Structure 1
Amino acid sequence: MLRWFLSRTCFQTSSSGVSGVRGNPRSIKMGLDRKFMNVIVLGFGFMFVFTAFQTMGNIEKTILDSIQRDNPAFQGDAYTSLAIIYAVFALCNWVSPSLISVTGPRVAMLIGAATYALFIASFLIPQTWLLYVASCVIGFGAAVIWTGQGNYLTLNSDSNTIARNSGIFWAMLQASMFLGNLFVYIKFQGKTHIDSETRLLVFIVLIVLAGVGIVFLLILRPAQNYDGELAKNDTNGPVRALVKAFKLLFTKQMLLLSLTFFYTGVELSFFSGVYGPSIGFTQQMGESAKQLVGLSGIFVGVGEVLGGAMFGILGQRTTRWGRDPIVIAGFLIHILSFFLIFLNLPNSAPFHDTMDAAFITSNPYLAMFCSFLLGYGDSCYNTQIYSVLGSVWSEDSAPAFALFKFTQSLAAAACFFYSSHLGLYAQLGILVVLSIIGTISFCFVEWKAKEANAMKVKTLAYNSDCEDPCYVEGGEAGKTKGI
């Protein structure tokens, strides 16, 4: 079944991209097949690496509280650890394009993936200093692996396939929310305290899963262009890559998009590190409250995968009217989820076990529904961000994705820092304000991109000797005769 799906998808892509491309159609199809297979292998690699990390991030607060109960000398704080990760992540995004210009995206992603395995391994030896050092190390690795991923995905895509490839990659990546959290849900069943034996088993399983992901990244093949030559980045060295990143940051479009990036960072940290533990700390949920932490992660994953599949596999249809309607839909879904969370959980839920009452009787089913909404809305934003970066900045994909991750991780670090001090309701208020600003700014960028693309198509149509001008005006620029 998988082989049939891959062959059908690759065939459709190659047949739609033949017009205007020189060379043997058979070689074009083989090249496109290879590009698509690279995206699939990339998706599997990230799926396993982030099965390990996202599961660890989701349960870190719960796990560290259990460790402190067994060993009062351990003073490691989950929110501080996650804040360090994203702060270092943000800073290192400035150097990651330079590193990739030297190593290439494949080697960079391998280096980054190794740091994820090391971070989880550090929990085998619960020491406060080791936790924070490992948080710094994985922050560097996160910058490298994500900038490499964005660059590699762009090298294996074109204007016709970037939306599809982004959606499929995102769906495969977010499938990572299932395996690890399902395992945690089963292992935490009936437990009010996570004992050392359970913790050890969870850590070992997650380390093995990270190792499987590293193997997939190890077998990635170089990207090729339509002539069978290796696709390369036009960075002219590490210094030039750094200069490009600085120049790109201060363009009007990137400054506007940075507001959207910032919102996605805050909502990412909320659903990945704050919302799950908040459910587990709400004693009104019943004896299964701790077990619901893993189940929440699963429902976030369901929403992420459903959104990624819808905007990837059906990308040609869902993006017919542009990327902005999808982002607006994500905004409305998130606003609904924030309101329901406000009603369902008490203000003190992010901090510790609490018997405080919410505005309504805390309901596990409603909590899981909100998890699904958070995941689905997040996929609306992220798939369209990947698409706009890969199309508008296809020639500067490494610095563009680095700036995306820089802003997103900076916002995530800020969220984890204030999560230790602000109640749930204040955090929800911040999310509402940032979601409004981020959605409006994305729409402005998308509308400008549409105008620029329309002007480009009209110019090509005017200068073309195409026998069917209606086809030129109605199609994409790359389909114009002779291009």
Structure 2
Amino acid sequence: MVLLDTGTKNVIRLSVSFMLLFFAYMSQEFIQEPLIEEEHRRGGNIDPHAGYHSFAILYFFFTIACLLIAPVVDLITAKWSMVVGFFTYIAFQLGFLELNSAYLYTTSALLGIGAAFLWVGQGKYLTENCTSETIERNTALMWLIFKFSLLGGGVFLYFMFQDQTMHELVLSGDFKIFVYVFCSISVVAAVNTAFLPAPAYVPEKREAVTLAGTLKVTFRLIRQTPMLLLAFIFLYTGFSRSFWIAIYPTCIKFTSKLGENTTKLLAISGIATGIGQIVAGGIFSVLGKRVRILGKDMIVVIACVLHLICFVLIYLFFPYDAPLRPTQNVGIFEPNAYIAIFCSGLLGFGDAIIQTQVYSFLCDGYSEESSHAFALFKFYSAISSTIAFFVSKYFTLAGHLLLYGAFAILSAIAAVMAQKLYFHKTRHFFQENTKIHPAIESEPIKIQISESGSTIESSEKTERKITDLN
């Protein structure tokens, strides 16, 4: 029987909180734009594209907050930063009880700030509970558990729309029952997070960081060549998520040729995306650090190739105006429900692979600056998501796919360059020659990045100097 170390147990418990929160939030997010469009058609006081506007506002504030909140996260700790974030999600969800533009846009802005607290706090707490021996496994394990939220949400939406369409659900007002359910689940997740244990590997205390100090560190990191290369991957994660969580589901809902009840098909799409995410997380949680043999760069390349294949299929089988309005048009070929579901699974699978490798890159290279590094990751990701949702009301399907395909190619190139030139130097700093029993706690790798270079401190308290990352 394999005994789990304390850090892994903490990561599992954190993952359960995220699974609960995003079961509720992503179920709502998945149908947000079609729901709002239906409410507008019913005569509600809301713009038909308010869902896209909401996403754009959310990610705009998320972008700004990611640059500023690292010292606050360090001050109030990762756990309480996440709790703050959880309650902004709950406030946003409550707005769907009585949809109106003012509340939707206001809580979208608050959610953007709260999401920054949530994700930067999550990255910091994850880093503080991983060693070089457990980073690959724990990252994939977190992703695996977390992504059961998407599968569960898809199943929930399937039964929700099994006997009624979106129009009927909005007309009857029954969707409000589900808002109460979602909010209750989110509250449970927030309470579980509030009672998370202290991190297994508490970093050495440093002087309190001011806003000016954190901006200095952040802008020092942002200028470094490794971070500039990773920025292409960060940007692509934002484009990818925006597409599979909102734009592609809207395409399915608006493509009438896919069937009589495309909302039900949308729910099946969510299930397929969740399965893709879970399978990817399961593969990497089983392989653990052995995935390093293949290399993070090659794994990212594989994921990008899978996404490019998916984009080609979507272009061939979906009408050009599917992201914009309900349509009777067809693509180059007649829309096919099986192809639509296959692409959903492929999108989820590829996205999960890229996300787990991003976490691995950052935990490997920036363990001492985890708050700043994860803030930059979310900063870039939020920029691309903001752009994606801003142009959503103007872009046809071809415009979206061309943009995302270009960044998929750039991400693959950047991953190869970053791994070959820089991050391979951190691959050998784990305790390769130390036999560590699974039940024994191991010391985390500590990487101190300075203007002159980076100092790596191993568990034996020896230090090595590596090439300047600038």
Gaps of 5+ in 2: 434-455, 464-470
How far is the alpha carbon of 1:232 from its aligned partner?
5.3
After superposition, the Cα gap between the structure-2 partners of 1:421 and 1:332, relative to the gap in structure 1 and judged at 3 Å, is same
How far is the alpha carbon of 1:452 from its aligned partner?
2.3
2:419 maps to a residue whose letter is: E
- Say whether 1:402 aligns with 2:378: no
Q: Which of 155, 179, 185 is the matching residue for 2:158?
A: 185
Q: Deviations over 1:367-417 (max 9, x none)?
A: 010000000000111000000100110111000000000000110010001
Distance 2:3 2:293 in 1: 18
Q: Deviations over 1:349-370 (max 9, x none)?
A: 0111100011112111110100
**Could you say what secondary structure the match of 1:8 adopts?**
coil
**Counterpart in the other structure of 2:228:** 255
**Counterpart in the other structure of 2:357:** 384
Distance 1:454 1:437 in 2: 23
Contact residue 303 and residue 375 of structure 1 kept, 8 A: yes
How far is the alpha carbon of 1:296 from its aligned partner?
1.0
Q: Which of 194, 212, 232 is the matching residue for 1:218?
A: 194
Q: Which of 118, 122, 128 is the matching residue for 2:91?
A: 118
Q: Which of 287, 293, 302 is the matching residue for 2:275?
A: 302
Contact residue 272 and residue 341 of structure 2 kept, 8 A: yes
**Could you say what secondary structure the match of 1:94 adopts?**
helix
Contact residue 110 and residue 217 of structure 1 kept, 8 A: yes
**Counterpart in the other structure of 1:60:** 32
1:444-463 equivalences under 5 Å are 444-453=417-426
Distance 1:115 1:338 in 2: 33
Distance 1:301 1:424 in 2: 23
| Residue range with higher mean Cα deviation, 131-140 or 242-251 | 242-251
**Could you say what secondary structure the match of 1:244 adopts?**
helix
Q: Which of 20, 30, 34 is the matching residue for 1:48?
A: 20
Q: Deviations over 1:271-325 (max 9, x none)?
A: 1010011101100011121211122111111111111121123223322222112
Q: Which of 114, 123, 133 is the matching residue for 1:150?
A: 123
TM-score, length-scaled by structure 2: 0.88
How far is the alpha carbon of 1:254 from its aligned partner?
0.6
**Counterpart in the other structure of 1:245:** 218
Distance 1:45 1:284 in 2: 38
| Residue range with higher mean Cα deviation, 370-379 or 286-295 | 286-295
| Residue range with higher mean Cα deviation, 428-437 or 172-181 | 172-181
After superposition, the Cα gap between the structure-2 partners of 1:393 and 1:234, relative to the gap in structure 1 and judged at 3 Å, is farther
Give the CA RMSD over aligned residues.
2.3
Contact residue 296 and residue 419 of structure 2 kept, 8 A: yes
**Counterpart in the other structure of 2:323:** 350
After superposition, the Cα gap between the structure-2 partners of 1:141 and 1:235, relative to the gap in structure 1 and judged at 3 Å, is farther
| Residue range with higher mean Cα deviation, 358-367 or 415-424 | 358-367
Gaps of 5+ in 1: 1-6, 11-32, 461-475
TM-score, length-scaled by structure 1: 0.86
| Residue range with higher mean Cα deviation, 138-147 or 194-203 | 194-203
Contact residue 273 and residue 348 of structure 2 kept, 8 A: yes
1:140 maps to a residue whose letter is: I
Distance 1:421 1:317 in 2: 44
Distance 1:390 1:43 in 2: 17
**Counterpart in the other structure of 1:4:** none
Distance 1:116 1:390 in 2: 26
Q: Which of 134, 137, 153 is the matching residue for 1:164?
A: 137
**Counterpart in the other structure of 2:310:** 337
- Say whether 1:75 aligns with 2:51: no
Q: Deviations over 1:129-176 (max 9, x none)?
A: 111001001000000000000000000011111111111111111111
1:370 maps to a residue whose letter is: C
- Say whether 1:138 aligns with 2:111: yes
Distance 1:127 1:89 in 2: 22
**Could you say what secondary structure the match of 1:220 adopts?**
coil
**Could you say what secondary structure the match of 1:421 adopts?**
coil
2:2 maps to a residue whose letter is: R
After superposition, the Cα gap between the structure-2 partners of 1:234 and 1:480, relative to the gap in structure 1 and judged at 3 Å, is closer
**Could you say what secondary structure the match of 1:212 adopts?**
helix
Q: Which of 197, 205, 208 is the matching residue for 1:236?
A: 208
**Counterpart in the other structure of 2:406:** 433
2:222 maps to a residue whose letter is: L
**Counterpart in the other structure of 1:26:** none
Distance 2:205 2:323 in 1: 44
Q: Which of 180, 183, 208 is the matching residue for 1:204?
A: 180
After superposition, the Cα gap between the structure-2 partners of 1:332 and 1:282, relative to the gap in structure 1 and judged at 3 Å, is same
How far is the alpha carbon of 1:327 from its aligned partner?
0.7
Q: Deviations over 1:66-97 (max 9, x none)?
A: 21122343226111101111111111001220
